[in-house]
Structure 1
Amino acid sequence: MRSQGSSEQSSLGTSVVFLAATQWFVFILASVITVPIVLGPALGLSVQGTAALTERTLFVSGLLGMAQAWWGHRVPIVEGPAGMWWGVFLVLIQMTRDTGESLSQLRPELEFGLILAGIFYVLLALFNWVDPVRRLFTPAVTGVFMTLLSLQLAATLLRGILGMGSAAGALIHPRSALVSLALVVLTVFLMNKGRGMVRNFAVLIALTIGWAAFALLGWGRLPATAHLVLAVPQVFPFGIPRLQWGVAITALFTAVVLLSNLISSVYAMGHATEVQAQPNQFRRATLISGLGTALAGVFGVVGNVPLATSASFVQLSKISARLPFLLANGLLVVIACVPVVGNLLATLPESVGYAVLFVVFGQLLGLGLKDFQSMPLNQRDLYVISMSIMSGVGIFFVPSTAWVDLPPLIGYLLGNGLLVGVLLVLLLEHLVFRHKPVATAHAGCIKGERGA
């Protein structure tokens, strides 16, 4: 694969490399900027804190993108904040608020969770355990995880669209809510009816239009003043990482579920470039992803994941060479060290970000439902899925104060509907309703039975 990439790069003219790098840069930026801008205020950060979070996110995404393209899977796949990671962050933020705890305590716990997940990835790669662990996460398990995550985020996303933010007792802002809802419709339209680059840049187009609309209506914010021309992003911005077992376990579950995303993204790029993915690519990609996830914890940003949409981008542009991709990620790292850029991006209205991400998480729920669709859905499967989802959703509605008399760790675990649902589906899928091996008509051939 390295030789093919080199020959492709040598065949590209300077102007083509420049244009391709520009296209990649815009595509990467559109895939990255929304999450830190929405997550910053949710984490209780100021405008300056959100700007710094945005800079650190660009920095880590650019570094990881280059590392994967050069040493990891060695194909041009964008490394962007994982929807599952930041979704889990929002769930933990809401749980922290519900229990009356401080977000300043949660932030270093999130750092630790990411570092732990990164170490876990590295161990999987070094000991070649990627496939055995991934097999535990069947369509039933991943489907329950994505369904519960989407449902638990629905309230947070809708509050953001309606202009309510995260404050308790906040009121709906009718005018900004109407603009945000129109933006949801526009995003859906561009993603479904847009052609070519319009579809690939749907998120960026929607963000730009929403940003401009809020500015014209006088709802925009002025960027904070940058006191430095250049600044390297800060490490451990929220303090020394701190262990909280509930957060740590949730982070490990999220990391394992995202393994399938990493593998499918490499496969998808193989189809787009008509170069078959090799087994050692997945091991190298997992190793680099582990280092990148740990790096996300060090810089206090959302964990990254290879974005499968990169394959469709390559199919449209017809350029799969790594040089333009490496240049685009290098530029991302450079602008991350320019504070004025982060300050400008941080002025994106929260409601605009929530409107776009509402559509994105609708896709996540759809992926969960597709996982269920791939199953026979016999009586056994229905038991596994329904009992897990009902238990998880039911816990969403149990007041956080109901668990205060239990030991802190037990109370935290039982109060996390997402975690309970995933633990239950793993138990039901692999122990209670475990597939029974049955002999087939072929001598010596054994297969798993999906029957009840």
Structure 2
Amino acid sequence: MEFSYGIDDRPGLASLLIFGLQWLAVSVPLVLIIGRVVADLQTDGSAIPYLQRLFLLVALMLLLQVYLGHRLPLVLGPATVLLVGILASLDAGFPAINASLVIGGLFLTGLAATGLIGYLKRLFTPRVIVVVLMLIAFTLAPTILNLATDGGGIVSATRTFLFAVVFALALFIAGGFLQGIWKSTLALWAILLGTPAYIALFGAVAPPPADTALVALPGNLLAPLAVPDVGVLAAFLICYLALATNDLGSIQSVGGLLKADGMGERVNRGVIVTGLGNALAGLTGVIGPVNFSLSPGVIAATGCASRFALVPAAVAIGLMAASPLAIGYLSSIPGPVIGVVLTYVMAAQIAAGLMLGQESKAVETFDGGLIVGIPLLLGTLVAFLPPEVAAGLPAVIRPLIANGFVVGIVTVLGLEHIVYRRRPQDRS
């Protein structure tokens, strides 16, 4: 595949701004969707400052990756696997969650700096990666359902759910017809069109408070920290192993597409920057970032492989972070619209898992199907575990046993490397 601009080429100012705008259209919805879910969990009414800090972190990490990290045209944003960990650890409180993010980020940095991250390739076989990709989507199903039925106390849950179903069907139909950059930016168009449609049907959503400043940074950039329980920390470290695999795959997929040189060094630097970004995320009290695997599609659609095209996008995201009013309007997007867009993103992730399973022949045998199917079923069941059942578990192990993603990952690793290890004829 030929590109109009290579990795290290610098497009002219006009072209740079156009390509940057396209990357911005892909990046903002990804940051906003996951950020809104976590921001709504804050109990101190700090949704706008939270999103400001998150946008600021993403802007900084984009620039660091472009100039010091993997130096590839790769978009990044909040890691959905960490969203699963946060949702399962809310009982521990955000100070403990923040500290777990710091430790997890440093753990990831250490793996890359020492070269130990290479051993993850042996642990995370194609079957395990298939489960990781699909399990994230399945274990987020309760959160998506809550968003789809969230009428803000004004609209009935039934009406918002029906709106979400119809809107989701329209979104998937559009995804089947659109091509190129239109398909890559479909999440943005869904937000831009879904929000006025929701308002037309159910009335206006609450705007930002009248005293919201046009330009201002969040007052406190440092978040409270607390020593996490063993169970919480263990759950997050498992999430970070999955995050590392995601990061590796994203960097290698873009590097392979562009035939980039020095991929070993690019991978190590990229994961180190990702790890440090996650540690910084914990210090500032926001969800940690990861490189996204959708970047090759954007590159193919635009024909631009220049890493510098991400610089205008990063600057624009940083400017958004400096405007509480702009963030306030972004955060007022209705919950059902966010839920539908998150559904679309997770469906794409399931599709990626199925494609990987087919390409790697991971489920050619009955045992291979069990290795994938059992963890998915167990993880989904745990994700829908009634709160009273989870509350009855011992506090030390609750973050592990009540975390559907952790249960699924531990199960698939045990099945893949222990239970079926002595059946090489059944392995791909």
- Using the size of structure 2 for normalisation, the TM-score is 0.88
CA distance in 2, matches of 1:403, 1:16: 53
Amino acid at match of 1:153: L
1:33 maps onto 2:32 in alignment = yes
For the residue of structure 1 that corresponds to 2:397, the secondary structure is helix
- Displacement of 1:203 in angstroms is 0.2
Say how many residue pairs are matched.
Answer: 420
SS at structure 2 position matched to 1:80: strand
Question: Which residue number corresponds to residue 291 of structure 1?
Answer: 276
Superposition RMSD in Å: 2.9
Q: Does the Cα contact within 8 Å between 2:252 and 2:263 map onto a contact in 1?
A: no
The 5-angstrom pairing of residues 131-142 of structure 1 reads 131-142=118-129
Output aligned runs, 1:83-232, within 5 Å: 83-93=80-90, 96=91, 105-163=92-150, 172-217=156-201, 218-224=203-209, 225-227=211-213, 229-232=215-218
Task: Classify 1:23/1:412 alpha carbon distance in 2 versus 1 (closer, same or farther; 3 Å).
Answer: closer
Q: Does 1:268 align with 2:253?
A: yes
Q: Paired residue for 1:69?
A: 66
Q: Which amino acid aligns with 1:203?
A: A
1:323-334, aligned counterparts within 5 Å?
Answer: 323-334=308-319
Q: Which moved more, 1:284-293 or 1:206-215?
A: 206-215
1:315: which partner in 2? 300
Moved more, 55-64 or 245-254: 245-254
CA distance in 2, matches of 1:351, 1:404: 28
Structure 1 unpaired stretches of 5+: 97-104, 437-447
1:147–1:31 CA distance, 2 compared to 1 (3 A): closer
Q: Look up the match of 1:236.
A: 222
Partner of 1:21: 20
| Structure 2, unaligned runs of 5 or more | none
Identity of aligned residues (%): 24
List per-residue Cα deviations over 1:20-50 (Å, max 9, x = no partner): 223322332233222212332244453xx21
Partner in structure 2 of residue 253 of structure 1? 238
Task: Provide the rounded CA distance (Å) in 2 between the counterparts of 1:131 and 1:402.
Answer: 39
SS at match of 2:93: helix
Q: Distance between the aligned counterparts of 1:359 and 1:425, measured in 2?
A: 25
Residue aligned with 1:198, SS? helix
1:410 to 371, 377, 397: 397
Could you tell me how far apart the structure 1 residues matched to 2:158 and 2:49 are? 31
Query: How far off is 1:150 after superposition?
Result: 2.7
Question: 1:357-372 alignment to 2 at 5 Å?
Answer: 357-372=342-357
Alignment match, 2:47: 50
Does the 8 Å contact 1:59/1:233 carry over to 2?
A: no
1:81 to 56, 78, 91: 78
Q: 1:199 to 1:118 in 2, by over 3 A?
A: same
- Using the TM superposition, give the Cα deviation of residue 164 of structure 1 relative to its aligned residue in structure 2, in angstroms: 5.9
Whole-Å Cα distance in 1 between the matches of residues 390 and 32 of structure 2? 37
Higher relative contact order (Cα pairs below 8 Å, separated by 6+ residues):
2
Q: Distance in 1 between matches of 2:204 and 2:315?
A: 34
Q: CA deviation at 1:403?
A: 6.6
> Which region of structure 1 is more displaced relative to structure 2, 188-197 or 362-371?
362-371
Residue pair 2:73, 2:308 contacting (<8 A) in 1 also: no
